[in-house]
Amino acid sequence: MRYRIIVSLVMAVLLFSCKRDDDNDVIEVPPSLLSDVAPEDDAAIREFLSTHFFNYEDFQNEPNVSHEIVIGTIAGDNADKTPMLDFAVPITIKVSSSYLGLDAEETDIPHTLYYIDVKQGTGDKGPTVADSVLVRYQGSLLDGTLFDESKDFTWQELPFTALGYSNGIAQLKSGTADQIVDNPDGTYDITNSGQGIIIMPSGLAYFNNPPTNIIPLYAPLLFKVEVGLFIEDTDNDNDGIPSIKEDLNGNGYLFDDNTDSDSESFTFFANFRDADDDGDGVSTRNEITDDNGNIIFPYPDTDGDGVPDYLDPDTN
């Protein structure tokens, strides 16, 4: 009898709990607006840059030597340090909600990215937002909480990284392949690499969808980077068109350039990932090369309508 009473009580509690869950509607909170978060992030970033410094004296004393970038608070013994804000260069990047998979239909919301060219690489130029780069990096929150790093050089495809990261890397120069030094432990250094700091608002990072729970929602991020090498005119889909030239609208975001999206049924590929950009059944490479496989430039425009054949489904 006692056993039955206990079981009955347990069942009653379970039923009551289920009923409460069923009666309570789950309230979904919509994502914040880019236009609301961007100025808040910028204020937080500028406050951080005004109250923190990096070890700029190490780089000033030995400008051709790579040093670990160390960031500290301007206080106490470091009260006379020059704030990072004095070194930081702001650039404006426009972000649309579609870039982040949001439904708000916000377009071209200005976001400010800050970068510091800590040690300039001696390569002739730096990568574009569409290139493959060889980098070492460390990603953290503004409070120093580390969420990602690579202590060894690793290759990254910049279009597949956060928009602020790719645009920040594109402000820096790389080193050169003739300055690679093999270390006894099997790693290597690039003595003339470029080093920098990138500080970005959440709209240029992960906004409301961070890849790890270490990163809060709407969190500005900081990256310390070392740019070793890059592949100039990276061609992600090997169609003969450098990926940077497949950014047709020139906004630095390659995923919204898709010439044949109307003819793609299930899988959508932006031009820089599509070997047949106009979807006419003839590969882009075949439409821009001669019989010997040499790329023709300017790219052929058979009907003279101003649209090259590889982007014109009516010409092949």
pLDDT per residue as tens digits for the range 61-108: 999 899 999 999 999 999 999 999 999 999 999 999 999 999 999 999
Residue 199 has pLDDT above 60, yes or no: yes
In this prediction, residue 23 carries a pLDDT of 54
More confident residue, 132 or 30: 132
Q: What would be the CATH architecture of the domain defined by 34-231? A: Roll (3.10)
- Rounded average pLDDT over 18-43: 80
Rounded to the nearest 5 degrees, what angle is found at the Cα of 47, between the Cα atoms of 43 and 128? 70
CA 162 to chain centre: 2
* Nearest-angstrom CA–CA distance, 233 and 177: 16
Which residue type does 50 have?
Answer: S
- b/e sequence 94-121, b meaning 16+ C-beta within 10 Å: ebbbebbebebebeebebbbbbbbbbbb
Percentage of the chain surpassing pLDDT 70? 92
Nearest to 224 by CA among 252, 200, 254: 200
pLDDT classification of 2: cutoffs 50, 70, 90: very low
Q: For 252-278, how does the pLDDT look when each residue is reduced to its tens digit (9 = 90+)? A: 999 999 999 998 888 899 999 999 999
In this prediction, residue 197 carries a pLDDT of 98
Q: Where exactly are the structural domains of the chain? A: 34-231, 235-316
Percentage of the chain surpassing pLDDT 90? 86
